[in-house]
Amino acid sequence: MGADTEGEFRRFVSEAEPRLRRALIAAYGTETGREATAEALAYAWERWDRVRDMSNPVGYLFRVGQSRGRRRRQRPVFERPAKDEIWIEPRLPAALAALPERQRVALLLVYGEEWSHAEAAAILGVSKATVQRHVERGLRKLRKALGVIDDA
């Protein structure tokens, strides 16, 4: 690769890596998500001539990371926050881990990372309406698991 191509790839990584990493961590947990991100970016480097011309390269690399992350898929493990971090409901990590993957990822992208429904839909390869349904259903299940709403 030439210097121009390498610089172009470096710029792409600096913009795309944080979003890709957060999405894969949301789906597979910290360790597997980081590994899947590294593998997806390595894949992009090896095929940069093809990847750079894609209309949604981050969404494509999310799919690459998913296929790499599924081999050793584990439920996400949420670490206890340090004392100076913001307090969260202690039952929230287990309630999130119990959600179906699509609902958990949609919730974490929309509420945890403050992505728009359109951004989440683009990276997940689904419609905005599908993201909205996953978010609504996930929130309903979380509220029920945390005792915020009645069963009725």
> Hey, where are the domains in the chain?
1-76, 85-152
Whether the model pTM is above 0.75: no
User: What are the counts of helices (DSSP H) followed by strands (DSSP E) for the chain?
Assistant: 8, 0
Contact (CB, 8 A) for 110 and 120: yes
Question: Over 90: is that where the pLDDT of 69 sits?
Answer: no
Q: Is 85-152 assigned to CATH 1.10.10.10?
A: yes
Question: Over 70: is that where the pLDDT of 86 sits?
Answer: no
Instruction: For residue range 28-56, list pLDDT tens digits in order.
Output: 888 888 999 999 999 999 999 999 999 99
Task: Give me the phi and psi of 47, to 5 degrees please.
Answer: -125, 35
Question: Which of 103, 109, 111, 108 has its CA nearest to residue 134?
Answer: 103
The pair of three-digit structure tokens given for residue 111, joined into one six-digit string: 């509420």
